[in-house]
Amino acid sequence: MGTGLLASGCAALTADDGRESAERVAAALTAGSVEDLGFGAVAGPFAQQQYEEATAGLGEATASVEVTTVEDTGQEDRREATLAWSWDLPGTDRDWAYDAVLPLVRSAGGEWVPEWSPGVVRPGLEEGEALRARTVAADRGDILGADGETLVTERPIRRVGIDRSQLDGAEPAAAARRLAAAVDIDADAYAEAVEQAGPEAFVEAVPLRLEDFRELDAQQMDAVPGLLVVEDELPLAPSRGFAADLLGAVAPATAEDLEASGGDLATGALVGRGGLQEQFDDRLGGTPGVVVEEVVPGADGGPASAGEPLFEVPAQAGEPVTVSLDRGLQATAEELLTGIESPSAIVAIRPSTGEVVASANGPGSEGYSTALLGQYAPGSTFKVVTALSMLREGDTPGTEVQCPPSTTAAGVQVDNVESYPPEFTGTITLTEAIAHSCNTAFVDQHERVSQAELAAAAGSLGIGAETDLGLPVFTGAVPAEEEPAQHAAAMFGQGRTLVSPLAMANLTASVAAGELVTPRLVTTEGLLDDAATTGPGPAEPLTGPEAEQLRTMMRAVVSSGHLEVLQELEPDTAIGKTGTAEFGDEDPPRTHSWVIAEHEDLAVAVFVEDGGLGSITGGPLMRDFLAAASAARTG
């Protein structure tokens, strides 16, 4: 090799023992730019080209290079500098460290000139060979339900798309539109993606569950030019739509995800989208591994192959998250709601533990969590709260109240529903007022029970309570102060009083348990902050005697009132309350349907938006759900 100057700009190196020359190379390698240096017979730009070709496969990795020693070789004009390389690789906290040798040759002028070869980057690296870092995906943790039953795990899918290399002259956009029609996706967007892809690219149209793939029209699929179906697996729930709002989903990381991760995510990584998958993505996702390997060109122009790993950080599998959902009860609730076109929900809680065992939304909710986040007037189900306020004024289930067909409160006329039984007008007991849902009896308490007292009673039953389920929830809102007309409306669950199906299921659970129940969903220890899981208790806690009297009145709703349909359950011990909440400006007004009930340690709320009378719409749904739960328990 001829001699030359190690130059930075136009400055020549001064004579030294070789360390200064080696340190200049180390600094340039750390900066990733050696093109301004001279390496004897090898020009800096050529060395830069080889450096970039050798390290391009390391992606966003950055190197730190230091000179540790400069040693004699036994030859007067040759020395060797040891370069300590340390690579900061994306996706791992461990650095890849090794030593490489930089040969130094003394020129005729006495300067030490470095010699370049790919081996300076990595010992043994030859011209044309390169380094490549690839991410090894971690196995994602499962989501487990009640009794440890698997809810979300790796399940088979089929990735359906167009392989442009197999189009055989067919028009890419036309093929894409055929496939889009077959799998029911946006044809324009997919056609554009296929047109813009490279000639060898596979452009995925959609990942499909195995059962959904099998339902495709085989003849229509076979007619798609360039069709490619790739077998794969993806973390999925037992069926499409199963607790989708609650469990969430996984999807490939977007460009925004990759940027926000600061290098922790690699292209193709799966991330949680919504629900528990997103909330506990770090735990479920685990830690991806990294492998650095030497890529060797293939023989006779064939594909390159990777040699033995040079560095490896094993992937750490994600850990499971356990929740209280009962797979069978959840599936039952979803099936019962299948035919309901408007938003709807069923929520079930075990009073003995507070565990949420079902949280289902009907198809009319269109992906929104009506069960956990819906905000609706509770209608007559709120009379349980008003009854508690009356108990605190000294009433009992046997206290006589007046139930006129119509009354006026704060200048607003309030009537009982047209179907109200006339034999239960006039003087009736508080229990009968609950059982037959006399609006006027409760509205007429508006001067006796203040809005603040009503709000306090609601808080005693968990409405508006602070709680952490691991997901956003709405537990209700009852204003502590109201104008007279709004206060009168609140007495029977109208006005500005708002609840969710979760809130009403928890109210029912609290009545059944005899104390305020705190709902629980995530049961894995340590995932939720205990202090955040349960907020401060109500100012006036629910007492056992109060709950017993409420149960007496709610039992009458089943034994002689609007929920006689629940007498079909075994044993015949159910308690409950129906509700019909008016909304809108139409005359007559449209109504939401509510039913709350408890049977055999299962407190349930059934809600149907724009569902008419609670007893007519919600009653059969409640009966069927509780009957299925009883059958599952005894079977």
Tracing tokens 């069960």 back to the chain, one arrives at 371
Cα gap 411→508, rounded to integer Å: 33
| pLDDT, position 516 | 96
How far are the Cα atoms of 55, 78, 84 from residue 66, in angstroms, in the given order? 18, 20, 5
DSSP symbols for 296-352: EPPGGG---EEEEEEEEE--BPPPPEEB---HHHHHHHHHHTTT--S-EEEEEE-TT
State the amino acid at position 606 in one-letter form.
V
Positions of the chain with pLDDT lower than 70, given as ranges: 1-15, 298-303, 530-535, 584-585, 587, 611-615
DSSP symbols for 339-404: T--S-EEEEEE-TTT-BEEEEEE-GGGTT--HHHH--B--GGGGHHHHHHHHHTTT--TT-EEEE-
| 143-290 shares the fold of 19-125 | no
270-328: per-residue pLDDT in tens? Answer: 899 999 999 999 999 999 899 999 998 766 656 678 878 999 999 999 999 999 999 99
Question: Which pair of structure tokens corresponds to residue 397?
Answer: 């289930």
| pLDDT, position 248 | 96
| pLDDT, position 4 | 38
Cα gap 158→228, rounded to integer Å: 10
Neighbouring C-beta atoms of residue 28, cutoff 10 Å: 22
Tracing tokens 């602070």 back to the chain, one arrives at 466
| pLDDT, position 9 | 36
Buried b (16+ CB within 10 A) or exposed e, 369-394: bbbbbbebbbbbbbbbbbbbbbbbee
- Residue of 271, 239, 278 lying closest to 252 (CA atoms): 271
Domain at 19-125: CATH architecture:
Roll (3.10)
Q: From the CA atom positions of the chain, what is the Rg in Å? A: 36
How far are the Cα atoms of 123, 317, 608 from residue 618, in angstroms, in the given order? 74, 44, 7
Question: Which pair of structure tokens corresponds to residue 449?
Answer: 């029970």
In the chain, where are the structural domains located? Answer: 19-125, 143-290
Task: Classify domain 143-290 at the CATH class level.
Answer: alpha beta
State the amino acid at position 60 in one-letter form.
E
How far are the Cα atoms of 10, 25, 81, 107 from residue 13, in angstroms, in the given order? 10, 12, 16, 11
Question: Which pair of structure tokens corresponds to residue 429?
Answer: 């007991």
Which residues lie closer than 8 Å to 326 by C-beta, 6 or more apart? Answer: 145, 146, 357, 358
526-536: per-residue pLDDT in tens? Answer: 998 765 556 67
Neighbouring C-beta atoms of residue 309, cutoff 10 Å: 12
| pLDDT, position 254 | 87
Cα gap 433→440, rounded to integer Å: 9
Question: Which pair of structure tokens corresponds to residue 384?
Answer: 């349980």
State the amino acid at position 623 in one-letter form.
R
Cα gap 35→6, rounded to integer Å: 11
Q: Classify residue 262 as exposed, middle or buried by CB count within 10 Å of its CB (0-12, 13-18, 19+).
A: exposed
Q: What is the pTM of this model?
A: 0.86
| pLDDT, position 100 | 98
| pLDDT, position 519 | 96
How far are the Cα atoms of 140, 142, 245, 521 from residue 280, in angstroms, in the given order? 11, 11, 14, 13
| pLDDT, position 530 | 65
Terminal-residue alpha carbon distance, the chain? 87
| pLDDT, position 402 | 97
